[in-house]
Amino acid sequence: MYVHVVKEDLVSRGLLFAGTERGVFVSFDDGDHWQPLQRNLPVTSVRDFVVYGNDLIVATHGRGFWVMDDISALRQVTSEVLLADAWLFKPADAINFIQGDDNGTPFQRDEAQAENPPDGAFIDFYLKAAAPVTLEILDAAGKVLRKWPPDLATPAAGAAARGGLPRVSPLWQPVPKVFATTAGMHRVVWRPVAPGEQPRRGDAPPRA
């Protein structure tokens, strides 16, 4: 296949993105080696890239614009990371958005809208091979605020667990995310403050 465009990341020197007639490729060593960065992008002609903040915008021919949310982990990939059995990447700054009610702004739920990034902090990790892994969020005192995979004895989070009414519409029900432990890079999203809750003193960013 032939190449339409090559762009370098604005933050990490040597991190290159190539758009070809059949998809996207990435290089971590200034173009010496390349590997696919296709993810859920369909096989299509990629014509241009724009790096905007922490996001990679992909322009295709006939398949619209695609956005890869938060490429902070890609910016941290080094030979040391690739040789490690496991690696926890430093998360980027995140904004915790809490909607007031079902009819509030800016995300009114009865109007059509494009898919948005999930609310919360993106936590990325790499596994060289499939292995059992546990990921924990600790506060300043060492208390576990969130754990993946969750303990079966832990009550389900959300309004139903707090005695509220569950949302019955499938459009409003979040899809459970599987905590992956296969080889490769994986991402989980942590919401420091869930809807209906208040921030607690001592809450701290995730740490390994």
What are 32-59's pLDDT values in tens digits? 999 999 988 999 999 999 999 999 999 9
Whether residue 176 has a cis bond before it, omega within 30° of 0: no
Q: Which of 72, 89, 71 is nearest to 80 (CA)?
A: 89
How many residues appear in the chain? 208
For residue range 125-168, list pLDDT tens digits in order.
Answer: 999 999 999 999 998 999 999 999 987 655 444 444 444 455 55
140 is written with which tokens? Answer: 């300043």
139 is written with which tokens? Answer: 């506060």
The total of other beta-carbon atoms located within 10 Å of residue 86's CB is: 13
Rounded mean pLDDT, 184-194: 86
Contact between residue 53 and residue 44 where contact means Cβ atoms under 8 Å apart:
no
The reported pLDDT for the residue numbered 126 is 95
Question: Cα(151)–Cα(179) distance, rounded to whole angstroms?
Answer: 12
Contact between residue 86 and residue 200 where contact means Cβ atoms under 8 Å apart:
no
Residue reference for tokens 């989070």: 157
Contact between residue 179 and residue 149 where contact means Cβ atoms under 8 Å apart:
yes
Q: What is the pTM of this model?
A: 0.76
Confidence grade of residue 192 (pLDDT, cut at 50, 70, 90) = confident
Q: Across the chain, how many H-helices and E-strands are there?
A: 2, 12
Q: Which of 74, 157, 64 is nearest to 122 (CA)?
A: 74
Whether the per-residue pLDDT at 207 is higher than 70: the answer is no
